[in-house]
Protein backbone atom coordinates (compact mmCIF):
# COMPACT_ATOMS: atom_id res chain seq x y z
CA UNK A 1 0.00 0.00 0.00
CA UNK A 2 1.24 3.48 -0.86
CA UNK A 3 1.80 5.92 1.99
CA UNK A 4 0.21 9.34 1.96
CA UNK A 5 1.47 12.90 2.33
CA UNK A 6 -0.60 15.55 4.07
CA UNK A 7 -0.88 19.08 2.68
CA UNK A 8 -2.42 22.13 4.35
CA UNK A 9 -4.25 25.02 2.72
CA UNK A 10 -4.85 28.33 4.49
CA UNK A 11 -7.41 30.91 3.36
CA UNK A 12 -7.07 34.69 3.79
CA UNK A 13 -9.03 34.61 7.07
CA UNK A 14 -6.61 32.07 8.56
CA UNK A 15 -8.87 29.03 8.33
CA UNK A 16 -7.02 25.88 7.30
CA UNK A 17 -7.88 22.50 5.87
CA UNK A 18 -5.71 19.50 5.22
CA UNK A 19 -5.87 16.76 2.62
CA UNK A 20 -3.87 13.66 1.83
CA UNK A 21 -2.36 12.61 -1.47
CA UNK A 22 -0.56 9.39 -2.31
CA UNK A 23 3.15 9.75 -1.59
CA UNK A 24 5.03 10.40 -4.82
CA UNK A 25 2.09 11.89 -6.75
CA UNK A 26 3.29 15.46 -6.31
CA UNK A 27 6.80 14.40 -7.36
CA UNK A 28 5.40 12.83 -10.54
CA UNK A 29 3.77 16.16 -11.43
CA UNK A 30 6.74 18.35 -10.54
CA UNK A 31 9.42 19.74 -12.77
CA UNK A 32 13.02 19.64 -11.60
CA UNK A 33 13.58 21.91 -8.64
CA UNK A 34 9.90 22.66 -7.95
CA UNK A 35 8.77 22.43 -4.37
CA UNK A 36 5.79 20.31 -3.42
CA UNK A 37 3.95 23.45 -2.32
CA UNK A 38 4.40 25.01 -5.77
CA UNK A 39 3.13 21.89 -7.52
CA UNK A 40 0.06 21.71 -5.28
CA UNK A 41 -0.60 25.45 -5.78
CA UNK A 42 -0.24 25.09 -9.56
CA UNK A 43 -2.77 22.25 -9.61
CA UNK A 44 -5.14 24.26 -7.41
CA UNK A 45 -4.92 27.30 -9.72
CA UNK A 46 -5.52 25.11 -12.77
CA UNK A 47 -8.50 23.43 -11.14
CA UNK A 48 -10.13 26.68 -10.04
CA UNK A 49 -9.68 28.29 -13.46
CA UNK A 50 -11.07 25.20 -15.21
CA UNK A 51 -14.12 25.22 -12.95
CA UNK A 52 -14.71 28.96 -13.36
CA UNK A 53 -14.38 28.59 -17.13
CA UNK A 54 -16.89 25.72 -17.15
CA UNK A 55 -19.40 27.66 -15.06
CA UNK A 56 -19.21 30.70 -17.32
CA UNK A 57 -18.82 29.12 -20.74
CA UNK A 58 -20.54 25.75 -20.50
CA UNK A 59 -23.50 26.34 -18.21
CA UNK A 60 -26.95 26.67 -19.66
CA UNK A 61 -27.97 30.29 -20.12
CA UNK A 62 -25.89 33.38 -19.62
CA UNK A 63 -23.65 33.60 -16.59
CA UNK A 64 -24.15 36.67 -14.41
CA UNK A 65 -21.75 39.55 -15.03
CA UNK A 66 -19.99 39.07 -11.70
CA UNK A 67 -19.18 35.45 -12.55
CA UNK A 68 -17.89 36.49 -15.98
CA UNK A 69 -15.64 39.05 -14.27
CA UNK A 70 -14.40 36.44 -11.78
CA UNK A 71 -13.61 34.07 -14.65
CA UNK A 72 -11.79 36.79 -16.59
CA UNK A 73 -9.67 37.63 -13.55
CA UNK A 74 -8.98 33.94 -12.89
CA UNK A 75 -7.77 33.51 -16.46
CA UNK A 76 -5.56 36.62 -16.11
CA UNK A 77 -4.02 35.20 -12.93
CA UNK A 78 -3.49 31.87 -14.69
CA UNK A 79 -1.57 33.61 -17.46
CA UNK A 80 0.50 35.57 -14.93
CA UNK A 81 1.43 32.37 -13.11
CA UNK A 82 2.10 30.11 -16.09
CA UNK A 83 3.14 32.57 -18.80
CA UNK A 84 0.55 31.25 -21.22
CA UNK A 85 -3.16 31.91 -21.56
CA UNK A 86 -5.67 29.39 -20.25
CA UNK A 87 -6.97 28.91 -23.80
CA UNK A 88 -3.47 28.19 -25.12
CA UNK A 89 -2.64 25.86 -22.24
CA UNK A 90 -5.80 23.81 -22.67
CA UNK A 91 -6.33 24.15 -26.42
CA UNK A 92 -9.76 25.43 -25.45
CA UNK A 93 -10.82 28.56 -27.25
CA UNK A 94 -13.96 30.28 -25.91
- Side-chain-side CA neighbours of residue 93 (13 Å): 0
pLDDT grade, residue 64 (50/70/90)?
confident
Task: Say if residue 76's pLDDT is above 60.
Answer: yes
Enclosing domain of residue 15: 4-90
Instruction: Please tell me the total count of domains within the chain.
Output: 1
Task: Say if residue 82's pLDDT is above 80.
Answer: yes
State pTM to two decimals: 0.86
Cα–Cα distance list, 90 to 25, 53, 82, 85 (Å):
21, 11, 12, 9
pLDDT grade, residue 94 (50/70/90)?
low
- Please write the tens of the pLDDT for every residue from 5-43: 999 999 999 999 999 999 999 999 999 999 999 999 999
Amino acid sequence: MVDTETYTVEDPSGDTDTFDLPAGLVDVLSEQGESGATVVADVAVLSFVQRAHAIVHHAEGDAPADLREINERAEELFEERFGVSFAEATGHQH
